[in-house]
Amino acid sequence: MDTTRPMPLTQPWSKKFWEGCREGCLLIQRCQDCQNNIFYPRKFCPECWSGNLNWIEAGGRGRIHTFSTAYDMVEPRFWEDLPYTIAYVDLEEGVRMMTRIVDCRPEDIHMDMEVEVVFHKLNDEFHLPYFRPVKG
């Protein structure tokens, strides 16, 4: 039974994102030619094919577009986390990411809830950007 946590399968152009996570920064790409904010990271801008892409630090705040809380039928490698909530979060920068919602009870999570990033260390290389409710 495989209980090792899976690590993100990276590409050369996504390494910077994971470096950012290690340093507590949520980075997204910005196309210098068409000003498009890009997530997930690409080799070339998916709007205009420009290779002139920069990284900007996102504010780390967003809203829950949708979520689902898992109680069963996940791989053994995630069993110890059950129950856990997977969500799509819309960042203020206009991009959407999949994440986990943490630091609250699953029954308190709701649609359009305001959340902020909190990094979860998997190992020395990978810290996953999770989100938690904004207090107050």
Partner 1 sequence: MAQPNLAIIGIGEVPTRIMPERTRWDILYEVCMEAIRDAGLHKNDIEGVIATSPQAQPVIAAELAFGKLPEELGLKGCKDNCICNAGGAGTSNCLRLAEQYIHSGVARAVLIPHVTVHSDIPMEDTINFFARAGVDMQWEYPFGSTYNLIMGLMANRYMHESGCTPEQMAAVVTSLRSWAVKDPHSLFYGKEVPSVEKVLASAMINTPLHKRESNRLADGGSAMVVVSAADARKMKKPAAYKLGEAVRYFSGTPVLRNFDQVKDGLRSTAEEALAQAGISRGDVNIWNCYLAYPLAHPLMAEMLGVAPEGRGGEYFAQGRMAFGGDIPWSTMGDAPGRGHTGSGVSAATYVETARQLMGKAGERQVKDCLYVFQNTSGGSGFNNIATIWGREV
Residues that bind partner 1 (CB under 8 A): 1-2, 5-11, 14, 40, 65-76, 78, 81, 84, 86-88, 96-100, 106, 111, 122, 126, 128
Map tokens 């969500």 to a residue.
Answer: 87
Exactly one of 3, 11, 50, 66 binds Zn ion (CB under 5 A); that residue is: 50
Spatial strand order of the sheet with 37-38 comes to 37-38, 27-31, 53-57
Of 110 and 136, the one with the shorter C-beta distance to partner 1 is 110
15: Cβ contacts below 8 Å, ≥ 6 apart: none
Q: Is 41 within 8 Å of 17 (Cβ atoms)?
A: yes
The residue among 23 and 73 lying less far from partner 1, judged by its C-beta, is 73
52 binds, among Zn ion, partner 1, none (CB under 5 to 8 A by kind): none
Three-class SS of residue 123? coil
Query: 13 is in the binding site of which of Zn ion, partner 1, none (Cβ under 5 to 8 A by kind)?
Result: none
8-state DSSP, 20: H
Selected range binding Zn ion among 9-17, 25-33, 88-96, 125-133, rule: CB under 5 A: 25-33
What are the tokens at 85? 């909530």
Member of 21, 45, 87, 117 binding Zn ion (CB under 5 A): 45
Would you say 1 or 105 has its CB closer to partner 1?
1
- CA separation (Å) from 95 to 25, 52, 77, 127? 16, 19, 29, 20
The binding site for Zn ion (CB under 5 A) comprises 31, 33-34, 36, 45, 47-48, 50
